[in-house]
Structure 1
Amino acid sequence: MSQLMVLRSPQANYFGTLPLTAQTRGHAVFEPTSDYWELREATRKFYADFAPFAVVHDIKTALKATLVWYAENSSLSHLKNLYYQSREFFHFKFDQTGVLVSEVTAADILNYKASLGKEKEWYVGVLSGLVRKWGALGYGGVSADAVILLKQLTLKGNRKGVATATRDPYTGPFTDIELEALQHALNEAFARKEVELSEYVLAWLVMTLGQRATQYAALKVSDVSKMIDSEGLESFVVRMPRAKTRDSDARGAFKERVLVPEIGRLVIEYAATVRERFRGVLPDIEKAPLFPKEQAEKNVEGYAYHSTAPHIGYILGKTLNRLHVVSERTGDFMNITPKRFRQTIGTRAAEEGHGELVIAELLDHSDTQNVGVYVSSTPAIVERINKTLAMSLAPLAQAFAGKLIAGFSEATRAEDPSSIIRAPSIINSFDGMSSCGKHGFCGFMKPVACYTCSSFEPWLDGPHEQVLEYLLVDRERLLSTTDARIAKVNDRTIYAVAQVVQLCNEVRAEQGPSL
């Protein structure tokens, strides 16, 4: 901890004393006298550049000294927020006056507040804490009326959970169809070796667990394990670091999360490859990060080669964005962030009837004060899908991934009669309707699961409209007799079948009437 002089009231001639070095609560060492701070904690990184600040030298010193106090006593995330909000404020005042800032006054605060509007009024709330601490530490540059004003102001807080509550199509939770489309595209890309094993494992862990990016960044290979019970049954567990924002130790506490066998086996296999990579590089390969960076950088002890939370978000976004999956709600490529998967986990849990305590446990919240939005935002009306709606949304959903063919003679496996797909329970006939281009065993239910498969080859004259009608009727039946989530399980398939019907209609229209 640096030794900073603390006075009872601001002194015009004292603007703080900057130590040569300081250390954040998370053990990042930096040089406060420099105009460029580089702070790296376990899974977090922050760069602060004070050179562009349009302030006089003494104000910059006092600001830095105040931020040093926050660095030593608060989280890196909070320090980062204070830095950016102070930068915005000083830029605003300089733009208004054209003169380097030499003092923060009550008039400055009120002018800044008026410029923000109600939606951004919370900016002043963040700035208020900084300015009041600045004055309490006894540094000059903050007028007495500014401190008095900020103590009296009632400020509107940052609205939380808006994207979740409104189901925002760009920043809120994914719909079931969007999530299924992402998962399907990810699996297909991995099968084509267009996605690395590390990217695939990270994406699936984010989609299934919905934890914060900083938690995945703190994972080590020793955190994933396989257990075999007395009956020989396998179970897979990931010991997830809690990495709480207010905790200086990202791995100070853990919660165990059970993985489904398909994902668990893959994670175990991937962890073994990471161990091999760090054999001879780290003295203990069990301490190797599960999702390492290529190069080691300046780290705190115990986190060599660990990624940062922003880097995890970048890898996830790069992996899934290049799949070019389109949202059926916007007709545009999906916006991918770890937070959206987290919102999706909470939203789906609420839709399944789970209460706030269960949702808080799933999302690793310490209390329930921030999970109420999931319960309150659960829609009371489940959207019904009729044929018209299915046909209109089908092009946006892009659920059909196969290839339309004229008939069996054009099939990839035209020499193999077993590749013919039939649906007697749906069309009341044993006649063929499509082909399967996949070589090898497939355990999915035909033909419902086929329409979203890339190996599916529907025939032009196949009874696809009958399949669509069957699925729509079955959905209505389930909606009235069972849980809504069960009724929606084939929604993406419905859009895929509707897309096939559209394609068939378009081809027939181009060919003209048959003789």
Structure 2
Amino acid sequence: MNIAASALKAPTEDTLDAWLNTPRLSKCGEFFTPSEPMWRPDKTVRAINWQAALACVPSEWRRWLHAALAYRMAEVTQASIRSAVSILSRAVQVGLDPLNEYHLIDLRERFCMSDFSTLASFMKFWQECESLEQRPSQALIDAYDTLPRRKRPQIDVILRLDPEQGPFTQVEQDALHQWAHDQFCHGNLDPERYLYLRLLMIYGQRGTQLRMMVFNDFIKTERGYQVRIFWAKQKDNDAGWRAKSEIFNLDEDLYNFVQAYRSIVLARLEKEYPGRADWDKAIEHVPLFCRKLEKRGGDLKLTPVIVDEPDQNALEQAPQAKFHAASGVVWSWLFQMESMPDFPISSRTHQPLKISSGHRFRHTLGTDLSNAGLDEWSIASALMHSNTRTVRKYRAVSAELMKLIDEKMSDHLALVVRAFTGTIVTDRVSAKNGDRIDRQIEDLAVCGADTVCHLDAPFTCYGCSKFQPLLDADHRAALERLERRRAQTIATDKTTGVLWDRAILACRKVILDCNALRESGKLGGSDA
């Protein structure tokens, strides 16, 4: 489709209706017609219903607001326009006019800071859009700019260790890591979402930074493995998409995982879009997290690996922003994980851990680095901040406080994580294989398995469904041994060390169940 010449001309009062009926180019590179009731040039993002929003301004202004929204579609993403339209529609519901200077305080009080800022940005764009004859006054825009923004009344989520928005405790991190590992191994978490979660947990960067990544950002050098992460929210000459980057160290296992995932994506590209590009060359610039056109209500396994655009061969030369996943998509991944079976339960809220809230992984990394003794500049560098002002709050969260929370929550976590699935027995006689010498696990338990498993008994046994712990055995001593073994391992390799956590949680549950059974005088199977 070619743009009509009339669409390139600034509309007047007489030509505005015709202008609104003419297809226009959006930021995503596709066309839309402003007069159509729903705008969806980007088929991977929800459509925009702009009609209700127009009623927030007087009738003589509505056609020009309509045109301003259409012009804005060429400047920002479809998701950003949806946000602005939503704010304007909500203003209609409460009878507030964004063109009325006397309504600004009420608008500020009605909306959160980010929504009010979005509204102010749109109004400024409209005022500066010289192609429109009817625009807000400069005095109104000055009023928006000078109106003080509300301060958040609550204490910072980091300083108060907010259980839903603040940093994760170590126990919560370990439980989340173990859950992700198990779900991926059992095929319940696809490689793309598993990788996104791992990168969040390791590097703590913003979602927009991870969404910029392409396969070529994972590098193997003579000095080891590295990953390139690009800056976000720049305000200088380096501002822009993938304009400025930093290099971080990369674990070899994670590098190998990315390469295996790269092979999967490459095979699907060659199968689904044969001849559309030299995929062996283009794969270097293919997004780690691709924009897709998902089939609503369909099998996600049948969803194409990348959105079908006519110029896929442009990826042979450089990364292309329009092929990268949108923010709402990756947020929905995290939200869906929270609803998956056996997702870790927060001992502080007794609800599933909140991983879709704000910058929790950034807060966690900053807090952990501070507790590890790093200076402010090192923390700022790890979080890709240009100064130390915003990282000082991490210094106020002591390692002792985080450790205390971990210790207090461990027994609670043991109650809600299905780590122990065996059966407690009073003695060996009542246990399966109790008469077999080769099935005795020290003086702690009996193994009910039919064959020898050669695992590291008793350390790995507590999480086994065939494990039959003895009611009166000293499981507390076994717990201390497990925790020492975990500490020794995690000192050199945190990734491997956290694999001990499930056995530790299972051992804690055995101790709690044995205590409860002794107090009640009853004995039965345990379904932790």
TM-score (norm 1): 0.71
Give the alignment's Cα RMSD to 1 decimal.
Answer: 4.9
Alignment of 1:260-299 (within 5 A): 260-280=251-271, 281=273, 282-285=276-279, 286=283, 287-292=285-290, 293=292, 294-295=303-304, 296-297=306-307
Offset at residue 181 of structure 1 (A): 0.7
Equivalent-residue separation in structure 2 for 1:243 and 1:298 (angstroms):
27
Cα pair 1:122 1:158 within 8 Å, conserved: no
> 2:394 corresponds to which residue?
374
The letter for the 1-side match of 2:186 is: R
Cα pair 1:70 1:79 within 8 Å, conserved: yes
Offset at residue 197 of structure 1 (A): 3.6
Evaluate the alpha carbon distance shift between residue 315 and residue 137 of structure 1 in structure 2; reply closer, same or farther with a 3 A threshold: closer
Equivalent-residue separation in structure 1 for 2:102 and 2:124 (angstroms):
15
Offset at residue 330 of structure 1 (A): 1.1
Evaluate the alpha carbon distance shift between residue 92 and residue 223 of structure 1 in structure 2; reply closer, same or farther with a 3 A threshold: same
1:360 and 2:380 are equivalent in the alignment? yes
Offset at residue 369 of structure 1 (A): 4.8
> 1:131 corresponds to which residue?
123
The letter for the 1-side match of 2:213 is: L
The letter for the 2-side match of 1:315 is: W
Offset at residue 16 of structure 1 (A): 13
CA deviations 1:187-231 (Å, max 9, x no partner) are 2333334333444333322322223333443433333344566xx
Matching residue within 175, 178, 195 for 1:181: 175
Equivalent-residue separation in structure 2 for 1:354 and 1:236 (angstroms):
23
Equivalent-residue separation in structure 2 for 1:385 and 1:108 (angstroms):
46
> 1:236 corresponds to which residue?
225
Task: Give the secondary structure class of the aligned counterpart of 2:249.
Answer: strand
> 1:501 corresponds to which residue?
511
> 1:326 corresponds to which residue?
345
Equivalent-residue separation in structure 2 for 1:390 and 1:237 (angstroms):
35
Alignment of 1:29-428 (within 5 A): 30-38=32-40, 40=42, 45=45, 47-53=47-53, 54-55=55-56, 58-67=60-69, 70-72=72-74, 81-93=83-95, 104-113=99-108, 115=110, 120=112, 123-135=115-127, 137=129, 140=134, 142=136, 146-147=140-141, 149-150=143-144, 152-156=146-150, 162-227=156-221, 235-242=224-231, 250-280=241-271, 281=273, 282-285=276-279, 286=283, 287-292=285-290, 293=292, 294-295=303-304, 296-297=306-307, 302=315, 303=320, 306-319=324-337, 321-322=339-340, 323-337=342-356, 339-378=359-398, 381-384=401-404, 389=408, 393-396=412-415, 398=417, 400-406=419-425, 421-422=441-442
Offset at residue 267 of structure 1 (A): 2.2
Q: Percent identity?
A: 21
Offset at residue 418 of structure 1 (A): 6.5
The letter for the 1-side match of 2:211 is: A
Task: Give the secondary structure class of the aligned counterpart of 1:290.
Answer: coil
> 1:461 corresponds to which residue?
472
CA deviations 1:410-433 (Å, max 9, x no partner) are 8888798676554xxxxxxxx445
Cα pair 1:109 1:146 within 8 Å, conserved: no
Equivalent-residue separation in structure 1 for 2:219 and 2:157 (angstroms):
35
The letter for the 2-side match of 1:348 is: D
Offset at residue 60 of structure 1 (A): 3.1
Equivalent-residue separation in structure 2 for 1:133 and 1:386 (angstroms):
49
The 10-residue stretch of structure 1 (406-415 or 63-72) with the greater mean CA deviation from structure 2: 406-415
CA deviations 1:243-293 (Å, max 9, x no partner) are 658889644444333322232222222222222222252523224443444
Task: Give the secondary structure class of the aligned counterpart of 1:165.
Answer: coil
Evaluate the alpha carbon distance shift between residue 269 and residue 455 of structure 1 in structure 2; reply closer, same or farther with a 3 A threshold: farther
Task: Give the secondary structure class of the aligned counterpart of 1:52.
Answer: helix
Which consecutive residues of structure 1, in runs of 5 or more, have no partner in the other structure?
Answer: 95-100, 230-234, 423-430
Equivalent-residue separation in structure 2 for 1:491 and 1:509 (angstroms):
27
Task: Give the secondary structure class of the aligned counterpart of 2:94.
Answer: helix
Offset at residue 327 of structure 1 (A): 0.9
Equivalent-residue separation in structure 1 for 2:65 and 2:395 (angstroms):
42
Evaluate the alpha carbon distance shift between residue 460 and residue 217 of structure 1 in structure 2; reply closer, same or farther with a 3 A threshold: same
Offset at residue 319 of structure 1 (A): 4.0
Cα pair 1:242 1:252 within 8 Å, conserved: yes
Task: Give the secondary structure class of the aligned counterpart of 2:172.
Answer: helix
Equivalent-residue separation in structure 1 for 2:401 and 2:469 (angstroms):
34
Cα pair 1:190 1:196 within 8 Å, conserved: yes
Which consecutive residues of structure 2, in runs of 5 or more, have no partner in the other structure?
Answer: 293-302, 524-528
Evaluate the alpha carbon distance shift between residue 260 and residue 133 of structure 1 in structure 2; reply closer, same or farther with a 3 A threshold: closer
> 2:298 corresponds to which residue?
none
Cα pair 1:104 1:141 within 8 Å, conserved: no
The letter for the 1-side match of 2:395 is: V
The 10-residue stretch of structure 1 (431-440 or 126-135) with the greater mean CA deviation from structure 2: 431-440
Equivalent-residue separation in structure 1 for 2:151 and 2:521 (angstroms):
62
Evaluate the alpha carbon distance shift between residue 508 and residue 316 of structure 1 in structure 2; reply closer, same or farther with a 3 A threshold: same
The 10-residue stretch of structure 1 (402-411 or 326-335) with the greater mean CA deviation from structure 2: 402-411
Offset at residue 326 of structure 1 (A): 0.8
Cα pair 1:274 1:290 within 8 Å, conserved: no
The letter for the 1-side match of 2:383 is: L
The 10-residue stretch of structure 1 (143-152 or 195-204) with the greater mean CA deviation from structure 2: 143-152
Cα pair 2:38 2:50 within 8 Å, conserved: yes
TM-score (norm 2): 0.70
Cα pair 1:223 1:238 within 8 Å, conserved: yes
The 10-residue stretch of structure 1 (184-193 or 79-88) with the greater mean CA deviation from structure 2: 79-88
Equivalent-residue separation in structure 2 for 1:19 and 1:106 (angstroms):
32
Equivalent-residue separation in structure 1 for 2:162 and 2:405 (angstroms):
21
Offset at residue 381 of structure 1 (A): 3.8
The letter for the 1-side match of 2:266 is: R
Cα pair 2:346 2:413 within 8 Å, conserved: no
Cα pair 1:350 1:375 within 8 Å, conserved: yes
CA deviations 1:108-159 (Å, max 9, x no partner) are 324434556xxx4664454344335544557547478745643553332568
CA deviations 1:289-323 (Å, max 9, x no partner) are 43444234465864576432322232344345413
Equivalent-residue separation in structure 1 for 2:332 and 2:326 (angstroms):
10
How many residue pairs get matched?
472
Task: Give the secondary structure class of the aligned counterpart of 1:257.
Answer: strand
